[in-house]
Structure 1
Amino acid sequence: MITPIPDLLPQRELVVDFRFGVFFLVGGVAPNPLDIRFKRVKGLSATVKTTPLAEGGQNLYTQRLPDGVEYGNLVLERGLIVGSPLHLEVEAALSLFKFAPSNVVVTLFNDAYVPVSAWFFFKAYPVRWAISDLDAASKGVLVDTLELAYARMQIMRV
């Protein structure tokens, strides 16, 4: 009879992607509860840019040297909220061209709502806003989409 080998690694729960909050940190003030709930967050990405360097006499390949980090824009989607302070900031940026960059933290929670991971975005500001199509035949929720550029991102594992 063969005895199974016990698993030496502790059992870990799978991390789910649907318990999260988005927190805008403006001047040390607690975030407005209207502006932390989003339906979807996209664009959590970073890529190391490289520069090719050809070496003399080497024709089979080139060296690729790291040349900096490039970030995708952070895209936030939610149902339209009337009277949102965040919307006022977006309106000032897009209509008056007045920008007030803020730090943004996207936090992922486990089933007990304890943070398990987070992404910190430094000096974020709006670069695109869109709203879903208005359709008299649809009974869907009107979706507000906000796209943010930022200086850099820091991944935080808890």
Structure 2
Amino acid sequence: MAGYYPPVGFHFLVEFTDIDTGDNDQRFQSVGGLSVDIETESIIEGGENRFKHKFPVRTKYPNLVLKRGMLLDSKVIKWCKDAIENFIFQPSDITVKLLNEEHQPLHTWKIVHAYPVKWSVEDFNAEESKLVVETIELSYNYYTSE
């Protein structure tokens, strides 16, 4: 595969299916948690003392972590605050798209049934000159990738 270059990881967008968001609510600094583990169960066989048999049981997905510069007027943050402050949970499907230089999707992850479990803002520090970054942590059922 001469001439192949892997895609860059800094050109992406995040779309919330069930939240009417603007362009700013689709832009994030980072997306983390797009991984999956397979849980296993160990079975001990009588007479076999060298090892335990391990069998796959189910998949396990970590929380999705989204970071960006703080937005003052955000429908995504309103959605998070409704869940955290008012305990009103309205799960949303989320699509993460890795984009090419023409802003076309190269790869897509579809996160199913996500809802907020944590919202935080980085510490303020008068000795540093940096943006205020907010972090949104979401629990979800599973994702598919295309």
Match of 1:18 in 2: 10
User: Aligned residues: percent identity?
Assistant: 33
Distance 2:50 2:101 in 1: 52
Match of 2:80 in 1: 90
How far off its partner does 1:10 sit? Answer: 5.8
Distance 1:17 1:95 in 2: 34
2:35 matches 1:45: yes
Structure 1 runs of 4+ aligned residues shifted over 6 Å read none
Q: Secondary structure at the match of 1:121?
A: strand
Amino acid at match of 2:18: V
Amino acid at match of 1:92: D
Q: How does 1:29-108 map to 2 (within 5 A)?
A: 31-108=21-98
Distance 2:143 2:48 in 1: 37
How many aligned positions are there? 146
How far off its partner does 1:11 sit? Answer: 3.6
| Match for residue 142 of structure 1 among 108, 132, 138 | 132
Match of 2:104 in 1: 114
Q: Which has the larger radius of gyration?
A: 1
Q: TM-score, normalised by structure 1?
A: 0.88
How far off its partner does 1:146 sit? Answer: 0.3
Q: Secondary structure at the match of 1:148?
A: strand
Amino acid at match of 2:111: F
Unmatched segments (≥5 aa) in structure 1:
1-8
| RMSD, matched Cα | 1.3
Q: Secondary structure at the match of 1:50?
A: strand
Distance 2:2 2:112 in 1: 35
Distance 1:89 1:34 in 2: 15
Q: TM-score, normalised by structure 2?
A: 0.94
Q: Secondary structure at the match of 1:125?
A: strand
Distance 2:62 2:33 in 1: 6
